[in-house]
Copies of this chain bind each other. A is one copy, B any other.
């Protein structure tokens, strides 16, 4: 097991025939380096596979850490956040940031200084979270949060298009699986708006609380149906709830999409069934977050961005018969 020495900045400097200062300037994209030298240095960097040592950089007053704050509860809410986290990890890496995860657990490690922060699941009103946000202007939240930097999918728009899709397939009794919180509310609004625009009567008894998870969705749907509540289309505000609903319908000997059409939201992978759903381009959300983070670090005025969303029609919706 040979142990080759990891190349340092001086190795690069020596091989490129320049000083360490110059190499550093190239690496940090500072101005005042002759294009030719820059090329030469980058070539050596490439050849050696040189990666600057984070500890040394930090010690000499250069941070590129960004903290990702996430409350433990958010993790278990949905696979969605896990995917987002992974995607964020990649995007940050591409932009030469180093991700540092920070769980908002009670007695955890104290916060290390970072250049910026990203907060997942901003709807949580964790006091620690609020404090961090107050102290650090360069913070980007995922979720709508006026007056700050935030990024959110186009929840109302997606919900609107999901509902519209069902309406255009001829459905008029369209149930909705909703849930508490910001996101749930916005998706509900999209649903409501679509009904209104297409003059389909809104019926409150067709809106259920599925708590963003499978079992509650299953139970509420099954119970409703058993109580005689009928619908030929169902728009669930998350894929997981759609999964629960479909299980319920299946257990009621209903066929999807022949008897009931189902639309989800998120487009999670590995769902085990080609679900018609509203696709969130998670990588684009992550990318946008990082873009805003850079703005935030450079002290630009805060703004929010809605990331577009897209209806993906698959096998769980059909024209009403």
Contact = CB atoms under 8 A, between A and B. Distances in A.
Question: Which bracket fits the contact residues of A?
Answer: 35 or more
Interface in A189-244: 213-215, 218-219, 222-223, 243-244
A167 to B, nearest CB: 29
Interface string A166-180: 000000000000000
Nearest to A223: B251
Contacts of A144: none
A241 B156 CA distance: 34
A107 B90 contact: yes
A86 interface: yes
Given A72-B82, A76-B82, A82-B76, A219 B89 contact: no
A301 interface: no
A112 B53 CA distance: 10
A105 interface: yes
A266 to B, nearest CB: 14
Contacts of A112: 54
Contact of A90 (B83, B86, B101, B108): B108
Q: Which 6 A-B pairs have the closest CB atoms?
A: A55-B58, A214-B215, A55-B55, A86-B105, A55-B59, A215-B215
23 contacts: A51-B110, A53-B59, A55-B59, A56-B59, A72-B82, A72-B83, A72-B85, A75-B82, A76-B82, A85-B103, A86-B103, A86-B108, A89-B103, A93-B108, A98-B109, A99-B109, A213-B214, A215-B215, A215-B243, A218-B218, A218-B219, A222-B251, A223-B251
Interface of A: 51, 53-56, 58-59, 72, 75-76, 79, 82-83, 85-86, 89-90, 93, 98-99, 101, 103, 105, 107-110, 112, 213-215, 218-219, 222-223, 243-244, 247, 251
